[in-house]
Amino acid sequence: MEPAGVRRLVEAHYSDVYAYCRRHTESVDEAEDAAQEVFLRFVGAFGRYRDDGRPLAYLLTIARNVCTDSHRRGAMRADELPCDEVLADPSPGPGAADRLSAVRRAVRALPDEAREIVELKFDQGLTAVEIARVTGLSRFAVARRIRSALSDIREALASEEGDA
């Protein structure tokens, strides 16, 4: 890949890759290192990449592997999701920040695989087919897991509202 092409790819997808890595790392520095590693691995594996017009799913597959490798080495914790960026603008109305916090708590309570699928769907905007490529599941399994996770989130929110 020519340098200009790599530069365009990084400019187009760095923020999405970084956001994914940030949710799966303990610090900003680790997320930056992981995101950089993703693009280095992409360039190194470019000969195996089949351009389907949307390289984000491929990049997020690499990001998942980078974060998993780092997590195994003990450098990252995938059980924490930073909420600062999400809560930065609670302008939709009164109670929106509290509701968003409740949703984030419900998402954090999901099993790791379900949480990752929900993040890929709603934070990254991937389709079920793209999520299937990232996770190695079938698109039907992805759809089932999304439905199940959303049901779990609804139940957690209803339970929390009942406790309030």
**What are the tokens at 115?**
């949480």
One-letter amino acid for residue 18 of the chain: Y
pLDDT tens digits along 136-153:
998 888 888 998 999 999
DSSP character at residue 45: T
What is the greatest pairwise CA distance in the chain? 57
Tell me the whole-structure pTM to 2 decimals: 0.55
Residue 74 CB contacts under 8 Å (≥ 6 apart), including other chains: none
Domains of the chain: 1-77 (1.10.1740.10), 93-164 (1.10.10.10)
**What's the rounded mean pLDDT across residues 31-59?**
83
Number of neighbouring beta carbons within 10 Å of residue 35: 26
One-letter amino acid for residue 60 of the chain: L
pLDDT tens digits along 68-83:
888 777 643 433 444 4
Could you tell me if 16 and 60 are in contact, meaning their C-beta atoms sit under 8 angstroms apart? yes
